[in-house]
Structure 1
Amino acid sequence: MEKKLKSNYDKLAEHYAKDVDTKAFNAYYERPAMINAIGKVNDLRVLDAGCGAGYYTEWLINNGAKEVVAIDFSEKMVESTKKRINEKAEVYVANLNEKLSFKDNYFDLIISSLTLHYVKNLDFTLKELSRILKPKGKLIFSIHHPIMTYLYFSLENYFEEILLEDVINKIPVYFYHRSFNKISNSLYNNNFLIERIIEPKPIGKFKEQDERNYKKLNKKPHFIIFKTIKYNK
Protein backbone atom coordinates (compact mmCIF):
# COMPACT_ATOMS: atom_id res chain seq x y z
CA MET A 1 0.00 0.00 0.00
CA GLU A 2 2.82 2.40 0.84
CA LYS A 3 4.46 1.83 -2.55
CA LYS A 4 1.12 2.43 -4.27
CA LEU A 5 0.56 5.66 -2.33
CA LYS A 6 4.05 6.87 -3.18
CA SER A 7 3.54 6.07 -6.86
CA ASN A 8 0.22 7.89 -6.95
CA TYR A 9 1.66 10.97 -5.27
CA ASP A 10 4.49 10.98 -7.79
CA LYS A 11 1.75 11.14 -10.43
CA LEU A 12 0.02 13.98 -8.58
CA ALA A 13 3.17 16.07 -8.12
CA GLU A 14 2.71 18.15 -11.27
CA HIS A 15 -0.94 18.80 -10.39
CA TYR A 16 0.05 19.90 -6.86
CA ALA A 17 2.84 22.17 -8.08
CA LYS A 18 0.44 23.86 -10.48
CA ASP A 19 -2.44 24.36 -8.04
CA VAL A 20 -0.77 24.65 -4.62
CA ASP A 21 -0.97 28.45 -4.46
CA THR A 22 -4.61 28.79 -5.52
CA LYS A 23 -6.50 25.57 -4.74
CA ALA A 24 -9.31 26.70 -2.46
CA PHE A 25 -9.09 23.96 0.18
CA ASN A 26 -5.40 24.73 0.65
CA ALA A 27 -4.98 28.42 -0.10
CA TYR A 28 -8.20 29.75 1.44
CA TYR A 29 -9.06 27.18 4.09
CA GLU A 30 -6.20 25.20 5.62
CA ARG A 31 -3.34 27.60 4.98
CA PRO A 32 -4.54 30.85 6.62
CA ALA A 33 -5.28 28.99 9.87
CA MET A 34 -2.07 26.98 9.70
CA ILE A 35 0.09 30.06 9.16
CA ASN A 36 -1.65 31.84 12.02
CA ALA A 37 -0.93 28.86 14.28
CA ILE A 38 2.74 28.76 13.24
CA GLY A 39 3.31 32.45 13.97
CA LYS A 40 6.83 33.87 13.85
CA VAL A 41 9.65 31.61 12.71
CA ASN A 42 12.55 34.08 12.90
CA ASP A 43 15.85 32.36 13.79
CA LEU A 44 14.21 28.93 14.19
CA ARG A 45 15.48 25.63 12.84
CA VAL A 46 12.41 24.15 11.15
CA LEU A 47 11.46 20.82 9.57
CA ASP A 48 8.70 20.76 6.95
CA ALA A 49 7.57 17.14 7.34
CA GLY A 50 5.68 16.21 4.20
CA CYS A 51 6.58 19.24 2.11
CA GLY A 52 4.51 18.34 -0.96
CA ALA A 53 5.06 20.91 -3.69
CA GLY A 54 6.93 23.25 -1.34
CA TYR A 55 4.60 26.10 -0.42
CA TYR A 56 5.38 26.00 3.30
CA THR A 57 9.07 25.41 2.68
CA GLU A 58 9.23 28.63 0.68
CA TRP A 59 7.10 30.46 3.25
CA LEU A 60 9.45 29.44 6.07
CA ILE A 61 12.48 30.67 4.10
CA ASN A 62 10.81 33.98 3.25
CA ASN A 63 9.75 34.57 6.85
CA GLY A 64 13.19 34.37 8.40
CA ALA A 65 13.70 30.80 9.60
CA LYS A 66 17.36 30.21 10.45
CA GLU A 67 17.44 26.78 8.82
CA VAL A 68 14.76 24.98 6.82
CA VAL A 69 14.79 21.28 6.02
CA ALA A 70 12.01 19.75 3.94
CA ILE A 71 11.22 16.09 3.44
CA ASP A 72 8.67 14.08 1.50
CA PHE A 73 8.40 10.41 0.56
CA SER A 74 7.56 11.30 -3.08
CA GLU A 75 10.58 11.92 -5.27
CA LYS A 76 8.50 14.03 -7.64
CA MET A 77 7.23 16.19 -4.79
CA VAL A 78 10.81 16.71 -3.64
CA GLU A 79 11.77 17.74 -7.16
CA SER A 80 8.89 20.24 -7.21
CA THR A 81 9.98 21.74 -3.90
CA LYS A 82 13.62 21.99 -4.98
CA LYS A 83 12.55 23.77 -8.15
CA ARG A 84 10.38 26.18 -6.19
CA ILE A 85 12.96 27.23 -3.61
CA ASN A 86 16.05 27.23 -5.83
CA GLU A 87 18.38 25.47 -3.34
CA LYS A 88 17.60 27.83 -0.45
CA ALA A 89 16.92 24.87 1.85
CA GLU A 90 17.86 21.23 2.19
CA VAL A 91 15.18 19.06 0.57
CA TYR A 92 15.29 15.31 0.24
CA VAL A 93 13.29 12.10 0.15
CA ALA A 94 12.46 10.64 3.57
CA ASN A 95 9.68 8.40 4.84
CA LEU A 96 7.82 9.33 8.02
CA ASN A 97 7.03 5.65 8.50
CA GLU A 98 10.74 5.01 9.05
CA LYS A 99 13.46 6.24 11.40
CA LEU A 100 14.68 9.70 10.42
CA SER A 101 18.34 10.63 9.99
CA PHE A 102 18.29 13.78 12.14
CA LYS A 103 20.05 14.16 15.49
CA ASP A 104 18.13 14.16 18.75
CA ASN A 105 16.78 17.54 19.91
CA TYR A 106 17.71 19.24 16.64
CA PHE A 107 14.68 21.28 15.51
CA ASP A 108 12.92 24.19 17.21
CA LEU A 109 9.76 23.66 15.18
CA ILE A 110 8.24 20.92 13.06
CA ILE A 111 5.31 21.63 10.78
CA SER A 112 3.34 19.03 8.86
CA SER A 113 0.54 20.05 6.52
CA LEU A 114 -2.09 17.42 5.69
CA THR A 115 0.40 14.56 5.98
CA LEU A 116 0.13 12.65 9.26
CA HIS A 117 -3.15 10.96 8.31
CA TYR A 118 -1.09 9.03 5.73
CA VAL A 119 1.37 7.48 8.18
CA LYS A 120 0.80 3.83 9.02
CA ASN A 121 1.78 3.96 12.69
CA LEU A 122 1.06 7.33 14.28
CA ASP A 123 2.79 6.41 17.55
CA PHE A 124 6.00 5.51 15.73
CA THR A 125 6.00 8.70 13.66
CA LEU A 126 5.27 10.94 16.64
CA LYS A 127 8.01 9.21 18.62
CA GLU A 128 10.49 10.09 15.88
CA LEU A 129 9.27 13.68 15.62
CA SER A 130 9.52 14.01 19.40
CA ARG A 131 13.06 12.63 19.35
CA ILE A 132 14.34 15.21 16.85
CA LEU A 133 12.48 18.15 18.40
CA LYS A 134 14.06 20.22 21.17
CA PRO A 135 12.41 20.32 24.61
CA LYS A 136 9.66 22.98 24.50
CA GLY A 137 9.83 22.85 20.70
CA LYS A 138 6.56 23.00 18.77
CA LEU A 139 4.90 20.46 16.49
CA ILE A 140 2.10 22.01 14.44
CA PHE A 141 0.17 19.83 12.04
CA SER A 142 -3.06 19.66 10.07
CA ILE A 143 -4.94 16.49 9.21
CA HIS A 144 -8.37 15.36 8.05
CA HIS A 145 -10.93 16.07 10.75
CA PRO A 146 -12.02 12.76 12.37
CA ILE A 147 -15.66 13.87 12.34
CA MET A 148 -15.42 14.57 8.61
CA THR A 149 -13.99 11.14 7.79
CA TYR A 150 -16.53 9.43 10.04
CA LEU A 151 -19.49 11.17 8.39
CA TYR A 152 -18.24 11.47 4.80
CA PHE A 153 -17.25 7.81 4.55
CA SER A 154 -20.27 6.61 6.58
CA LEU A 155 -18.07 4.61 8.94
CA GLU A 156 -19.76 2.01 11.12
CA ASN A 157 -17.37 2.49 14.04
CA TYR A 158 -15.93 5.93 14.78
CA PHE A 159 -13.32 4.49 17.16
CA GLU A 160 -11.89 1.96 14.72
CA GLU A 161 -8.64 2.98 13.04
CA ILE A 162 -9.21 2.22 9.39
CA LEU A 163 -7.52 2.80 6.04
CA LEU A 164 -9.71 4.74 3.61
CA GLU A 165 -9.50 5.50 -0.09
CA ASP A 166 -10.11 8.92 -1.61
CA VAL A 167 -9.60 10.28 -5.12
CA ILE A 168 -7.61 13.39 -6.07
CA ASN A 169 -7.58 14.43 -9.69
CA LYS A 170 -8.87 10.94 -10.64
CA ILE A 171 -5.96 9.26 -8.80
CA PRO A 172 -6.69 7.16 -5.68
CA VAL A 173 -4.93 8.04 -2.43
CA TYR A 174 -5.14 6.24 0.92
CA PHE A 175 -5.22 7.63 4.44
CA TYR A 176 -6.17 6.59 7.97
CA HIS A 177 -9.20 7.61 9.97
CA ARG A 178 -8.27 7.99 13.63
CA SER A 179 -10.46 9.14 16.51
CA PHE A 180 -9.68 12.18 18.66
CA ASN A 181 -8.93 9.75 21.45
CA LYS A 182 -6.31 7.92 19.38
CA ILE A 183 -4.67 11.16 18.22
CA SER A 184 -4.57 12.77 21.67
CA ASN A 185 -3.26 9.59 23.31
CA SER A 186 -0.53 9.23 20.69
CA LEU A 187 0.52 12.82 21.28
CA TYR A 188 0.56 12.44 25.07
CA ASN A 189 2.43 9.13 24.95
CA ASN A 190 5.16 10.77 22.88
CA ASN A 191 5.70 13.84 25.08
CA PHE A 192 3.43 16.31 23.29
CA LEU A 193 0.94 18.54 25.06
CA ILE A 194 -1.81 20.17 23.02
CA GLU A 195 -1.69 23.97 23.21
CA ARG A 196 -4.49 24.66 20.76
CA ILE A 197 -6.95 22.82 18.55
CA ILE A 198 -8.09 24.82 15.55
CA GLU A 199 -11.08 23.99 13.38
CA PRO A 200 -10.58 26.41 10.50
CA LYS A 201 -13.27 28.12 8.49
CA PRO A 202 -12.75 29.27 4.90
CA ILE A 203 -11.84 32.88 4.21
CA GLY A 204 -13.75 35.08 1.77
CA LYS A 205 -11.65 34.23 -1.27
CA PHE A 206 -12.79 30.63 -0.99
CA LYS A 207 -16.37 31.73 -1.69
CA GLU A 208 -15.27 33.47 -4.89
CA GLN A 209 -13.82 30.18 -6.16
CA ASP A 210 -16.28 27.63 -4.76
CA GLU A 211 -19.43 28.99 -3.12
CA ARG A 212 -21.04 25.57 -2.59
CA ASN A 213 -18.14 24.18 -0.53
CA TYR A 214 -17.69 27.55 1.18
CA LYS A 215 -21.18 27.16 2.65
CA LYS A 216 -20.50 23.54 3.61
CA LEU A 217 -17.22 24.34 5.38
CA ASN A 218 -18.93 26.99 7.46
CA LYS A 219 -21.22 24.26 8.82
CA LYS A 220 -19.08 21.11 8.83
CA PRO A 221 -15.34 20.79 9.51
CA HIS A 222 -13.02 19.20 6.95
CA PHE A 223 -9.53 19.73 8.40
CA ILE A 224 -8.24 20.22 11.92
CA ILE A 225 -4.99 21.75 13.20
CA PHE A 226 -3.11 20.72 16.34
CA LYS A 227 -0.56 23.06 17.91
CA THR A 228 1.53 21.10 20.39
CA ILE A 229 4.62 21.54 22.55
CA LYS A 230 7.18 18.92 23.54
CA TYR A 231 7.58 18.45 27.26
CA ASN A 232 9.76 16.23 29.41
CA LYS A 233 7.97 13.71 31.60
Structure 2
Amino acid sequence: MEKKLKVSYDKLAVHYAKDVDTKTFNAYYERPAMIKAIDTIKDLVVLDAGCGAGFYTEWLINNKAKEVFAIDFSEKMVEYTKNRVVDKAKVLLENLNEKLSFENNYFDLIISSLTLHYVRDLDFTLKELSRILKPNGKLIFSIHHPIMTYLYFSLENYFEDILLEDVINKVPVYFYHRSFDTISNSLYNNNFLIERIIEPKPIYKFKEEDEKNYKKLNKKPHFIIFKTIKRAF
Protein backbone atom coordinates (compact mmCIF):
# COMPACT_ATOMS: atom_id res chain seq x y z
CA MET A 1 0.00 0.00 0.00
CA GLU A 2 2.84 2.37 0.79
CA LYS A 3 4.31 1.79 -2.68
CA LYS A 4 0.90 2.52 -4.24
CA LEU A 5 0.61 5.74 -2.26
CA LYS A 6 4.09 6.82 -3.31
CA VAL A 7 3.25 6.21 -6.97
CA SER A 8 0.03 8.19 -6.55
CA TYR A 9 1.78 11.20 -5.04
CA ASP A 10 4.55 11.15 -7.60
CA LYS A 11 1.76 11.40 -10.19
CA LEU A 12 -0.01 14.15 -8.25
CA ALA A 13 3.13 16.23 -7.73
CA VAL A 14 2.53 18.37 -10.83
CA HIS A 15 -1.04 19.05 -9.71
CA TYR A 16 0.10 20.00 -6.19
CA ALA A 17 2.87 22.25 -7.45
CA LYS A 18 0.47 24.03 -9.78
CA ASP A 19 -2.66 24.29 -7.66
CA VAL A 20 -1.94 23.86 -3.94
CA ASP A 21 -1.22 27.55 -3.29
CA THR A 22 -4.71 28.54 -4.46
CA LYS A 23 -6.80 25.38 -4.00
CA THR A 24 -9.76 26.40 -1.83
CA PHE A 25 -9.53 23.60 0.77
CA ASN A 26 -5.87 24.44 1.30
CA ALA A 27 -5.59 28.19 0.78
CA TYR A 28 -8.87 29.33 2.32
CA TYR A 29 -9.68 26.59 4.83
CA GLU A 30 -6.78 24.58 6.29
CA ARG A 31 -3.98 27.08 5.81
CA PRO A 32 -5.31 30.20 7.59
CA ALA A 33 -6.09 28.16 10.71
CA MET A 34 -2.81 26.25 10.55
CA ILE A 35 -0.73 29.41 10.19
CA LYS A 36 -2.56 31.02 13.12
CA ALA A 37 -1.87 27.93 15.23
CA ILE A 38 1.84 27.94 14.30
CA ASP A 39 2.17 31.60 15.29
CA THR A 40 5.72 32.96 15.76
CA ILE A 41 8.61 30.88 14.40
CA LYS A 42 11.42 33.43 14.43
CA ASP A 43 14.75 31.85 15.44
CA LEU A 44 13.30 28.34 15.70
CA VAL A 45 14.69 25.16 14.15
CA VAL A 46 11.70 23.74 12.28
CA LEU A 47 10.79 20.57 10.39
CA ASP A 48 8.08 20.48 7.71
CA ALA A 49 7.08 16.81 7.91
CA GLY A 50 5.36 15.88 4.66
CA CYS A 51 6.27 19.01 2.74
CA GLY A 52 4.42 18.22 -0.49
CA ALA A 53 5.16 20.88 -3.08
CA GLY A 54 6.73 23.19 -0.51
CA PHE A 55 4.24 25.90 0.44
CA TYR A 56 4.85 25.65 4.18
CA THR A 57 8.59 25.18 3.70
CA GLU A 58 8.74 28.51 1.89
CA TRP A 59 6.44 30.11 4.46
CA LEU A 60 8.75 29.01 7.28
CA ILE A 61 11.74 30.53 5.51
CA ASN A 62 9.93 33.81 4.80
CA ASN A 63 8.86 34.07 8.45
CA LYS A 64 12.41 33.95 9.75
CA ALA A 65 12.80 30.44 11.12
CA LYS A 66 16.42 29.95 12.14
CA GLU A 67 16.82 26.67 10.24
CA VAL A 68 14.28 24.86 8.06
CA PHE A 69 14.18 21.20 7.11
CA ALA A 70 11.57 19.60 4.88
CA ILE A 71 10.90 15.92 4.24
CA ASP A 72 8.63 13.93 1.96
CA PHE A 73 8.57 10.32 0.75
CA SER A 74 7.71 11.34 -2.83
CA GLU A 75 10.77 12.04 -4.97
CA LYS A 76 8.72 14.36 -7.17
CA MET A 77 7.45 16.37 -4.19
CA VAL A 78 11.00 16.70 -2.88
CA GLU A 79 12.10 17.89 -6.30
CA TYR A 80 9.37 20.54 -6.47
CA THR A 81 10.13 21.78 -2.96
CA LYS A 82 13.85 22.00 -3.74
CA ASN A 83 13.10 24.00 -6.87
CA ARG A 84 10.85 26.29 -4.86
CA VAL A 85 13.20 27.11 -1.98
CA VAL A 86 16.57 26.44 -3.68
CA ASP A 87 19.21 26.36 -0.92
CA LYS A 88 17.23 28.14 1.79
CA ALA A 89 16.11 24.88 3.41
CA LYS A 90 17.41 21.33 3.65
CA VAL A 91 14.91 19.23 1.69
CA LEU A 92 15.29 15.49 2.15
CA LEU A 93 13.70 12.29 0.88
CA GLU A 94 12.48 10.68 4.11
CA ASN A 95 9.63 8.32 4.97
CA LEU A 96 7.53 8.97 8.08
CA ASN A 97 6.86 5.24 8.26
CA GLU A 98 10.55 4.64 8.93
CA LYS A 99 13.21 5.83 11.37
CA LEU A 100 14.20 9.39 10.56
CA SER A 101 17.80 10.50 10.06
CA PHE A 102 17.73 13.39 12.55
CA GLU A 103 19.40 13.53 15.94
CA ASN A 104 17.46 13.32 19.21
CA ASN A 105 16.01 16.58 20.56
CA TYR A 106 16.97 18.60 17.49
CA PHE A 107 13.86 20.59 16.54
CA ASP A 108 12.03 23.38 18.34
CA LEU A 109 8.93 22.88 16.20
CA ILE A 110 7.56 20.25 13.83
CA ILE A 111 4.64 21.03 11.55
CA SER A 112 2.78 18.52 9.42
CA SER A 113 0.03 19.58 7.06
CA LEU A 114 -2.52 16.94 6.00
CA THR A 115 0.02 14.12 6.17
CA LEU A 116 -0.31 12.00 9.31
CA HIS A 117 -3.52 10.31 8.17
CA TYR A 118 -1.34 8.58 5.55
CA VAL A 119 1.12 6.96 7.96
CA ARG A 120 0.78 3.23 8.51
CA ASP A 121 1.51 3.16 12.26
CA LEU A 122 0.66 6.42 14.02
CA ASP A 123 2.34 5.32 17.26
CA PHE A 124 5.61 4.64 15.45
CA THR A 125 5.55 7.95 13.60
CA LEU A 126 4.71 9.98 16.70
CA LYS A 127 7.45 8.18 18.62
CA GLU A 128 9.97 9.28 15.97
CA LEU A 129 8.67 12.86 15.94
CA SER A 130 8.86 12.93 19.73
CA ARG A 131 12.42 11.63 19.62
CA ILE A 132 13.67 14.41 17.35
CA LEU A 133 11.71 17.19 19.07
CA LYS A 134 13.17 19.07 22.01
CA PRO A 135 11.42 18.89 25.40
CA ASN A 136 8.73 21.60 25.44
CA GLY A 137 8.96 21.69 21.64
CA LYS A 138 5.71 21.77 19.69
CA LEU A 139 4.16 19.47 17.14
CA ILE A 140 1.35 21.10 15.15
CA PHE A 141 -0.45 19.02 12.56
CA SER A 142 -3.62 18.91 10.50
CA ILE A 143 -5.39 15.74 9.40
CA HIS A 144 -8.76 14.61 8.10
CA HIS A 145 -11.40 15.08 10.76
CA PRO A 146 -12.48 11.65 12.10
CA ILE A 147 -16.13 12.72 11.94
CA MET A 148 -15.72 13.60 8.27
CA THR A 149 -14.22 10.25 7.34
CA TYR A 150 -16.84 8.41 9.40
CA LEU A 151 -19.74 10.20 7.69
CA TYR A 152 -18.35 10.69 4.18
CA PHE A 153 -17.33 7.04 3.79
CA SER A 154 -20.40 5.72 5.66
CA LEU A 155 -18.28 3.61 8.00
CA GLU A 156 -20.00 0.96 10.06
CA ASN A 157 -17.67 1.31 13.04
CA TYR A 158 -16.33 4.73 14.00
CA PHE A 159 -13.83 3.21 16.45
CA GLU A 160 -12.18 0.87 13.95
CA ASP A 161 -8.92 2.02 12.37
CA ILE A 162 -9.44 1.41 8.67
CA LEU A 163 -7.61 2.11 5.41
CA LEU A 164 -9.73 4.10 2.96
CA GLU A 165 -9.39 4.93 -0.71
CA ASP A 166 -10.23 8.25 -2.33
CA VAL A 167 -9.52 9.80 -5.74
CA ILE A 168 -7.74 13.10 -6.43
CA ASN A 169 -7.54 14.22 -10.06
CA LYS A 170 -8.40 10.66 -11.14
CA VAL A 171 -5.48 9.28 -9.09
CA PRO A 172 -6.29 6.88 -6.21
CA VAL A 173 -4.94 7.82 -2.78
CA TYR A 174 -5.07 5.84 0.46
CA PHE A 175 -5.33 7.07 4.02
CA TYR A 176 -6.45 5.92 7.47
CA HIS A 177 -9.53 6.74 9.45
CA ARG A 178 -8.68 6.88 13.15
CA SER A 179 -10.94 7.85 16.03
CA PHE A 180 -10.26 10.72 18.43
CA ASP A 181 -9.51 8.10 21.05
CA THR A 182 -6.81 6.49 18.89
CA ILE A 183 -5.23 9.82 18.03
CA SER A 184 -5.25 11.22 21.57
CA ASN A 185 -3.90 7.99 23.04
CA SER A 186 -1.08 7.88 20.48
CA LEU A 187 -0.16 11.46 21.34
CA TYR A 188 -0.22 10.82 25.10
CA ASN A 189 1.73 7.57 24.81
CA ASN A 190 4.48 9.42 22.96
CA ASN A 191 4.81 12.29 25.44
CA PHE A 192 2.65 14.85 23.65
CA LEU A 193 0.12 16.94 25.53
CA ILE A 194 -2.68 18.55 23.54
CA GLU A 195 -2.54 22.32 23.93
CA ARG A 196 -5.38 23.10 21.52
CA ILE A 197 -7.74 21.37 19.13
CA ILE A 198 -8.86 23.54 16.24
CA GLU A 199 -11.78 22.77 13.95
CA PRO A 200 -11.26 25.35 11.22
CA LYS A 201 -13.93 27.15 9.28
CA PRO A 202 -13.35 28.55 5.79
CA ILE A 203 -12.51 32.21 5.37
CA TYR A 204 -14.78 34.40 3.25
CA LYS A 205 -12.51 34.13 0.20
CA PHE A 206 -13.58 30.47 0.01
CA LYS A 207 -17.18 31.57 -0.55
CA GLU A 208 -16.16 33.67 -3.53
CA GLU A 209 -14.57 30.60 -5.14
CA ASP A 210 -16.94 27.83 -4.05
CA GLU A 211 -20.11 28.88 -2.24
CA LYS A 212 -21.56 25.35 -2.07
CA ASN A 213 -18.62 23.87 -0.16
CA TYR A 214 -18.27 27.07 1.89
CA LYS A 215 -21.75 26.45 3.29
CA LYS A 216 -20.98 22.77 3.90
CA LEU A 217 -17.75 23.51 5.77
CA ASN A 218 -19.57 25.93 8.05
CA LYS A 219 -21.85 23.06 9.10
CA LYS A 220 -19.61 19.97 8.96
CA PRO A 221 -15.86 19.74 9.69
CA HIS A 222 -13.47 18.36 7.09
CA PHE A 223 -10.04 18.89 8.68
CA ILE A 224 -8.85 19.20 12.26
CA ILE A 225 -5.67 20.72 13.73
CA PHE A 226 -3.85 19.51 16.84
CA LYS A 227 -1.43 21.86 18.60
CA THR A 228 0.66 19.79 21.00
CA ILE A 229 3.68 20.15 23.22
CA LYS A 230 6.27 17.53 24.11
CA ARG A 231 6.36 16.91 27.84
CA ALA A 232 9.62 17.70 29.62
CA PHE A 233 10.53 15.22 32.35
TM-score (structure 2 length as normaliser): 0.99
> Aligned partners of 1:197, 1:220: CA distance in 2, in Å?
16
Aligned length: 233
Q: % of aligned pairs identical? A: 84
> Aligned partners of 1:231, 1:163: CA distance in 2, in Å?
30
Q: Give the corresponding residue for 2:95.
A: 95
> Aligned partners of 1:83, 1:7: CA distance in 2, in Å?
20
Q: Please report how far the alpha carbon of residue 87 of structure 1 lies from its aligned counterpart in structure 2 after TM superposition.
A: 1.6
> Aligned partners of 2:180, 2:136: CA distance in 1, in Å?
23
Q: Please report how far the alpha carbon of residue 92 of structure 1 lies from its aligned counterpart in structure 2 after TM superposition.
A: 1.2
Q: Please report how far the alpha carbon of residue 86 of structure 1 lies from its aligned counterpart in structure 2 after TM superposition.
A: 1.6
> Aligned partners of 2:92, 2:196: CA distance in 1, in Å?
30
Q: Give the corresponding residue for 1:176.
A: 176
Q: Give the corresponding residue for 2:216.
A: 216
Q: Please report how far the alpha carbon of residue 134 of structure 1 lies from its aligned counterpart in structure 2 after TM superposition.
A: 0.1
Gaps of 5+ in 2: none
> Aligned partners of 2:209, 2:101: CA distance in 1, in Å?
41
Q: Please report how far the alpha carbon of residue 22 of structure 1 lies from its aligned counterpart in structure 2 after TM superposition.
A: 0.4
- Aligned to 1:232, what secondary structure does the other structure show? coil
Q: Please report how far the alpha carbon of residue 124 of structure 1 lies from its aligned counterpart in structure 2 after TM superposition.
A: 0.2
> Aligned partners of 1:95, 1:123: CA distance in 2, in Å?
15
TM-score (structure 1 length as normaliser): 0.99
Q: Following superposition of structure 1 onto structure 2, how do residues 16-55 of structure 1 map, counting pairs within 5 Å? A: 16-55=16-55
RMSD: 0.5
Q: Write the deviation string for residues 120-156 of structure 1: whole angstroms up to 9, x where unpaired.
A: 0000000000000000000000000000000000000
Q: Which runs of 4+ in 1 moved over 6 A?
A: none
Amino acid at match of 1:39: D
> Aligned partners of 1:36, 1:174: CA distance in 2, in Å?
28
- Aligned to 2:143, what secondary structure does the other structure show? strand
Q: Give the corresponding residue for 1:231.
A: 231
Amino acid at match of 1:82: K
* Residue 155, structure 1, aligned to residue 168, structure 2: no
Q: Give the corresponding residue for 1:128.
A: 128
